[in-house]
Structure 1
Amino acid sequence: MIVPTPSRELLDLWADVHPGDLPPPALVRQPHVGAALRRLRDAAPELFHLEEVGRSVEGRPLELVRFGQGPLHLLLWSQMHGDEPSATTALLDVLEYVHRHRHSPRVARWLSSLTVHALPLLNPDGAERFQRRNAQGIDINRDALALQTPEGRTLKAVRDRLQPALGFNLHDQSWRTAVGDTGRPASISVLAPPFDAARNDNPGRVFAKKVCAVIRDALEPLIPGQLGRFDDSFEARAFGDNLGRWGTPTVLIETGPWPSPEPDEPMLRLTFVALVSALESLAQGSAEHADVGRYESIPFNRSNGLLHLLIRGARVFGEAGDAFVADIGVVAQRALRQRQGAPCIVLTGTVEELGDLSVLGAMEVVDGSGLTVVPLPPGDVTVGQVLPLPPRSARVVRTEQPAELMVLRPVDSFGNHRVERVIRYER
């Protein structure tokens, strides 16, 4: 029996297989994906088979890549939502891993035991805009029944033709997602979706739960306390839930949030480890023996349990009344912008919560005791600068305003304050 690859070894292996010519995941578009797939096919035509299986609303190709000749057929698809790009790049990394290590015992076992089909980019029009929905304005993951989108029809047709034993539905999740009530970021979440409103089990769903348990065991040493279980409410219109009804149980993997200024690389590494660990276990047959209890004991996510920045116990001025002591919560999200004629991804921030936020966690917590928080004034402000407290009308902190703030510490009895921190997100 081949011993599973240790998680930390896979984490390090990612750097050797990740293509260096790809832009950051949020800027990867269909031409990047198509070029990467054709390069792999041309380099190893006996290993990779590439097929155009459909077109998006705006005519961009939907490409299916296949490798392996084994009896167990798997279907993986990514980026149903155009602003959830991590797994698209991670899938390309997995394909590169297969290409470079095809003669290793582990990958050779994949090729003889599995036939893997992957749609790395299901919503290329949404990816072009960095938006959730397709060019029609429809959420593809709510189109499993109506099939109003060409992308949804393509996924359904591929599933019906291949009849895979297991599907992998790959997404990014909101950066407000925490693990239960811990206040810690759910950097990876998994789910074996139900196939009915009663959330019953059948052999297929139990199988998916076991694969989720494998992923947990692979990731937990790397991100202790940062792995959650996605909400398992039945969604009658969703693909994952309906594939279970149609005979293909699915594993949902949701990537993010990650608490660092540059989250892309850690998120890609973790998604890569999750996918490779799952495929290894399926190729070796060890997934069948996984402990379902390891899945069922994963804490559920809390969808609005996490802030990007939390200032605790600062002095704040509302629109009326005297100053009061409150917590300030900032949420952040990525957005597509044009800078000097080129697309780039920026982090925007908004004051979302104000008051007692003791039940929320954050990727960064600032102790605001003895400090005053006010909006940034026009012009340049630097840390260490001494300023008078702004006029009352310019001190108001309210929800839904841009997170452009300064944290002040009083320095004398004349109302002067030193700037302790400048908080500024992109617009």
Structure 2
Amino acid sequence: MVLFHKHLTFVFSITIILFSAMSSDAQKSLPDFSKQLFDIHEKIKEPTLTKRRFKHKDIVPLIEKLPFEVAKIGQSFEERDIYQIKMGHGKTKILLWSQMHGDEATATMALFDIFRFFKEKNDGFDALRSKILDNCTLYFVPMLNPDGAERFQRRTATGIDMNRDALRFQTPEGTLLKKLQDELKPEFSFNLHDQGIRYSAGMSSKQATISFLATSYNFSQDWNPTRTRAMQVICEMNEAVQQFIPGHVGKWNDPHEPRAFGDNVALWGSSLILIESGGYKDDVEKQYIRKLNFVAMLKGMQSIAEETYIKHQLSTYESIPNNEKFLFDVLIRNAEFIHNGKVVIKDIGIILTEKNINNATDFVVSSVIDDLGDLSTFWGIKEIDAKGLTVSMFADFPEIAQKYKISEKEAANKELNLDETASFLLTKDKEVKYIILNGQIK
């Protein structure tokens, strides 16, 4: 009996010690800095990157000035140097890479903002920087596909989608990423992308401005500890950005893709966090979304450094709505069409596409009528309720056609058809209420 009581006393003492240690660790946890990071971003951001179409030569001088451990770790097919920036000395390794698709530049801008953040001091964030750098070692690879960035195109110089090259390794850039995974063996990896702006967060009118995914490593989409940790960190990041874009966060499509790097990085043992930058109204150059990336990534790093992510459950992650396709760039509702003297009500769904110009330093927009009819289950990033308005063509308003320099071919159009340029008028009693010119509302 005495031995039994001694055993209970020992167990109770150990429990108290463990609880005290846990409480002590909890007390050491830092507050959530998301709001403060959001507020200081304008001051901290890299000022030379203001548009998405920048090139390798624009970031090399920025990299070479960084006060961190900078190394050339390889070259692209066209022999552009690929850099790694290393900072921190903690046991948990985090590898972050951006722009493996050359035209997906939002996160690259955010990474340079993060570099500037880690250069600062005495600004109220020293404790956060210390926590991350003491507990983690960060490895950044901005612009993994510099040849694609040169052309502002998705694929590499050899025409291969690098994110479908994780089996054959026919791109030097993809081979380099596999080498980094093998050598560093990072516990966490951040795969940073842009997605189309017409994805909605669930079946809603809200653009999926930021989308996350803990990628599946097999076709049955199982949850092992590696994938679970990625999911839990995503829950922390989702909480952070929901403050600024409530309802605009989505979950990227989950089916396993055996050729993709994200899925294979998860298979190779690193907790893979996919971030997709989508669209936000009037944020053409994605400067607001860049800010959200800045906040989300730093929140993710803090969560990993403090291991606060462990509290999250799968149900929280699954509550993030899936990305869906319920958006047009422009949706005109209830427009009246005249067919053989009869009025027919149709909605008009318009899609806009960017086309590179000036050596991929700028772009022009082209439009197309993508759908006509009942589009009541869809939304538009921009919308017009045209109830009581009639669709008219420039052929009936030659003075307006001349003013807006409408081509002879467009000015001769007598009706609005699918798969044609979205240029037409909305009128009432022959008075022009709206001019739609190449999908733009005038």
**TM-score (normalised: structure 1):** 0.89
2:39 maps to 1:12: yes
SS at match of 2:361: strand
The aligned residue for residue 413 of structure 1 is none
Describe the superposition over 1:208-266 as per-residue Cα deviations: whole angstroms up to 9, x where unpaired.
00011011110112111110111110001000001111111200000111111545221
Separation of aligned partners in 2, 1:380 and 1:111: 65
Post-superposition CA distance 1:377-404 (Å, at most 9, x none): 697739x99xxxxx99623222222222
**Secondary structure of the structure 1 residue equivalent to 2:332:** strand
2:60 corresponds to which of 8, 18, 34: 34
Q: Which residue of 1 aligns with 2:415?
A: 396
Letter in 2 for 1:211: V
Name the stretch that deviates more: 329-338 or 150-159. Answer: 329-338
Give the one of 248, 264, 272 matched to 1:226. Answer: 248
1:282 matched to 2:304: yes
Contact 1:314–1:370 (CA under 8 A) maintained in structure 2 = yes
> What is the aligned counterpart of 1:408 among 427, 431, 434?
427
Distance 2:181 2:33 in 1: 32
Q: TM-score, normalised by structure 2?
A: 0.86
Offset at 1:76? 0.6
Shift of 1:423: 3.4
* Cα 1:393/1:119, change in 2 over 3 Å: same
> Are the structure 2 counterparts of residues 136 and 203 from structure 1 closer, same or farther at C-alpha, using a change threshold of 3 Å?
same
Give SS of 1:211's match: helix
Q: Distance in 2 between matches of 1:9 and 1:380?
A: 53
Structure 2: distance between partners of 1:300 and 1:265: 24
User: 2:318 maps to what in 1?
Assistant: 296
**C-alpha distance in 1, partners of 2:439/2:335?**
20
What displacement does 1:28 show? 1.7
Are 2:329 and 1:326 equivalent residues in the alignment?
Answer: no
Q: 1:247 to 1:337 in 2, by over 3 A?
A: same
Supply the distance in 2 between the matched residues of 1:232 and 1:379 (Cα, whole angstroms): 51
Report how far residue 135 of structure 1 moved.
0.8
Compared CA separation, residues 367 and 21, structure 1 to 2 (3 A): same
The CA RMSD over aligned residues, in Å, is: 2.5
Structure-to-structure mapping, 1:240-319, within 5 angstroms: 240-260=262-282, 262-302=284-324, 304-316=325-337
Q: Which has the larger radius of gyration?
A: 2
Shift of 1:130: 1.1
Shift of 1:375: 4.7
- 1:346 deviates by 3.6
1:203 counterpart letter in structure 2 = P
Which residue is 1:104 aligned to? 126
Local SS of the residue matching 1:218:
helix
Alignment of 1:20-419 (within 5 A): 20-24=47-51, 26-40=52-66, 44=67, 48-101=68-121, 104-260=126-282, 262-302=284-324, 304-316=325-337, 324-338=344-358, 343-376=361-394, 381=400, 394-410=413-429, 416-419=430-433
- Asked if 2 retains the 8 angstrom alpha-carbon contact of 1:113 and 1:283, the reply is yes
Mapped to 2, the partners of 1:277 and 1:193 lie a distance apart of 19
The residue type paired with residue 36 of structure 2 is: E
Q: CA deviation at 1:17?
A: 1.2
Note if contact 1:408-1:418 (Cα within 8 Å) is conserved in structure 2: yes
Larger proportion of helix: 2
- Quick one: distance in 1 between partners of 2:45 and 2:183? 31
Q: How far is the alpha carbon of 1:205 from its aligned partner?
A: 0.4
Looking at structure 2, the residues matched to 137 and 129 of structure 1 have their Cα atoms a distance apart, in angstroms, of 11
Q: Give 5+ residue unaligned stretches, structure 2.
A: 1-27, 405-409
Q: 1:10 to 1:291 in 2, by over 3 A?
A: farther
Following superposition, the deviation at residue 150 of structure 1 comes to 0.9
Partner of 2:3: none
Report deviation, 1:51: 1.3
2:341 & 2:264 partners in 1: Cα distance?
53
Which secondary structure state, in structure 1, belongs to the residue aligned with residue 426 of structure 2?
A: strand
